Amino acid sequence: EDQVTQSPEALRLQEGESSSLNCSYTVSGLRGLFWYRQDPGKGPEFLFTLYSAGEEKEKERLKATLTKKESFLHITAPKPEDSATYLCAAYGNQFYFGTGTSLTVIP
């Protein structure tokens, strides 16, 4: 069965305290691994697409990496404005989303 699992469900960090979010996937014929950010009451906002194992992409304090079974979203020196839910989605014959990691960055 195609599925995506994210961990942890929730994460509280002090401002400046780096950490990583995990996304494990089992999706047949993976065509891409996507990361989105979602603020309360809003639609998901696109962050990254990764296509092959070993690929890395960066944007400001965020870096996404991909292996054959997992993806990580690394957050370096986070700020309070990085607080949001981060969703991972694996694209096979359709998009399969995880349940997200709710990140809170405390000043």
Partner 1 sequence: DAGVTQSPTHLIKTRGQHVTLRCSPISGHKSVSWYQQVLGQGPQFIFQYYEKEERGRGNFPDRFSARQFPNYSSELNVNALLLGDSALYLCASSLVQGGDEKLFFGSGTQLSVL
Nearer to partner 1, 49 or 76 (CB): 49
Residue 73 in the binding site for partner 1 (CB under 8 A): no
From residue 78, alpha-carbon distances to 17, 35, 83 in Å are 6, 17, 9
- ∠ CA(100), CA(35), CA(39), 5° rounding? 55
DSSP code string of 43-72:
--EEEEEE-STT-EEEETTEEEEE-SSEEE
- Determine which residue in the list 65, 96, 103, 105 makes contact with partner 1, applying CB under 8 A: 96
Beta carbon of residue 91, minimum distance to partner 1 (angstroms, whole number): 6
Beta carbon of residue 71, minimum distance to partner 1 (angstroms, whole number): 14
Give contact residues for partner 1 (rule: CB under 8 A).
4, 6, 31-32, 34, 36, 41-46, 49, 87, 89, 91, 93-100
